[in-house]
Amino acid sequence: MTALHPSKIGVPAHAVSLKKPCNRGFFQSLFCYLCHKETKQIPINNNAPLLVEENRTISKVPAKPLLPQIKSKDTGKICVVIDLDETLVHSSFKPLNNADFIIPVEIDGTVHQVYVLKRPHVDEYLRRMGELFECVLFTASLSKYADPVSDLLDKWGAFRHRLFRESCVFHRGNYVKDLSRLGRYLNKVIIVDNSPASYLFHYDNAVLMSFAGTLVLNAEL
């Protein structure tokens, strides 16, 4: 194997782009978003599609928001939801000489080594983002992989919360991140993700970080 398989640790397959990638820098995109976004309160979406758990059972969408109440230090801040794979890092089962991290992950009773490359400038990006926004990691990957990666990646505690596959909505073959279930006003939520399928319900809230290839990662952040 040369790359992580979506069915094993939850790294989502790359969907066909449903929206033209944005070539602007992140902060420029964020500024444009804040300038044109209308202020409106949108409640939690309890009518969203059903969830599919890791064990393939189906459960109803919980009425309780995915996030707890906003901490006092984050009052008034924009909530920025940030994806992990192919947005902040690239991971592979194939040994990489320049890997920043090597994460052991148990799959079907066997421990595999996962080689993780950080995206250029990701350290400064997370440090600065943590100062300016309420940052939330939201990945369709399983926590047994994404949690240890996040522990090593986020040295500054930029992520106030972490959400994994079980918090996604399974919709038409995709694990969708339903921002209306976070417990935050949608006019104060932005998602940064490489896959348009991840934000099918909220295109207007998205900053698309285009897929950069298997080993060559760009400096778009």
Q: How confident is the prediction along the chain (221 residues), in pLDDT tens digits per residue?
A: 444 454 557 644 433 333 333 444 554 555 455 544 543 443 444 444 444 444 444 444 556 999 999 999 999 999 999 999 999 999 999 999 999 999 999 999 999 999 999 998 899 999 999 999 999 999 999 999 999 999 999 999 999 999 999 999 999 999 999 999 999 999 999 999 999 999 999 999 999 986 454 545 566 66
The pLDDT value recorded for residue 59 is 43
**Contact in structure between 168 and 115 (CB atoms under 8 Å):** no
Whether residue 32 is contained in a domain is answered as no
Q: How far is CA 99 from CA 83, 88, 143, 215, in A?
A: 19, 14, 20, 10
**Contact in structure between 63 and 46 (CB atoms under 8 Å):** yes
CA distance 187 to 154: 26
Whether residue 85 is contained in a domain is answered as yes
**Contact in structure between 37 and 184 (CB atoms under 8 Å):** no
Whether residue 139 is contained in a domain is answered as yes
**Choice among 83, 154, 178, 193 that is catalytic:** 83
∠ CA 115-118-123, nearest 5°, is 145
Query: Can you give the pTM of this predicted structure?
Result: 0.76
Sign of CA dihedral 8, 160, 202, 22: negative
CATH number at residue 190: 3.40.50.1000
Whether residue 21 is contained in a domain is answered as no
CA distance 123 to 119: 9
83 is annotated as an active-site residue: yes
The pLDDT value recorded for residue 209 is 85
Whether residue 16 is contained in a domain is answered as no
Residues contacting 214, CB < 8 A, separation 6+: 3, 90, 92
**Choice among 85, 154, 178, 193 that is catalytic:** 85
Q: Which residues pair with 193 in a beta bridge?
A: 208
CA distance 1 to 171: 28
Whether residue 193 is contained in a domain is answered as yes
Domain residues for 179? 54-63+77-211
DSSP assigned state of 213: -
The CA-based dihedral angle spanning residues 184, 139, 196, 43, taken in that order and rounded to the nearest 10 degrees: -20
The pLDDT value recorded for residue 118 is 93
Q: How many domains does the chain have?
A: 1
